[in-house]
Amino acid sequence: MSRPSVNILVSISPNDVECSNPAGDSNFLLLGAGDYLVWRDLQQQDGDLLSGVGYPVIIPEAGTSEAPALFLADNSAGTYRQVVMAGTSLAVYGGDKRYVCCACFSGATASIPYLEMYDDDSHATWESKPLGDGTPANSLFRAIATTNATPGSATWSGTPLAGTDSRIALDTGVLTGAKYLYWNMKHILTSAMAAWAAAEWYNNDLVFSIHFTYN
């Protein structure tokens, strides 16, 4: 068994349909070199220039809220592309949506693929403030696997993402061949974020990771 290639794609469409091509189609956009994901306020629009005004999410004065919109920063096009169905019904167009984020595997695996999140691309730690400050259950990023079914609720809770301590299995078993895996995800905002020091705020170091083994 050789290592399968894995393409990561996100839906930029309001159509809750499967991806039909590992390289992307009319609904799904393939992540390329220099691309990244970012949550923005409602003022940010699909197609806005990356070199233009960026509208960050707004921290709630009390309690928690959900970031309203997820975008792919498309480096090659120089634009923001909205991942329309991301999040719950508390986001712009989210809810009980299944085909939002996709990992396309070209072949079999020796283990179940997991979606994880780390402080940086060393994949060694998950102790930053956004990932729970040492308590995985407090991670501000939540995800739910949708490979085999929708979340089941428009206000799904999801699993906090923090390294191998808190992650989601993207399927129920090892992959026996090429397959598309899916998940939805959201970003929780809390009033406690207002007390963070500048060095504890978000930067480009946080990474999502698809973790699997092969023979």
Q: What secondary structure does DSSP assign to 118-164, as a single string?
A: ESSTT-----SGGGTTT-GGG-SEEEEE-SSS--SSTT---EE-BTT
Strand (E) or helix (H) holding 65: strand 64-66
User: Per-residue pLDDT averaged across 67-79, rounded?
Assistant: 97
Predicted local confidence at residue 197, as pLDDT:
84
133: left (phi over 0), alpha (psi -120 to 50) or beta: left
Predicted local confidence at residue 92, as pLDDT:
81
Predicted local confidence at residue 99, as pLDDT:
98
Q: Considering just the CA atoms, what is the radius of gyration of the chain in Å? A: 17
User: Per-residue pLDDT averaged across 85-89, rounded?
Assistant: 97
pLDDT band at 200 (very low <50, low <70, confident <90, very high): confident
User: Per-residue pLDDT averaged across 193-213, rounded?
Assistant: 86
The mean pLDDT of the chain is 95
pLDDT higher than threshold 90 for residue 139: yes
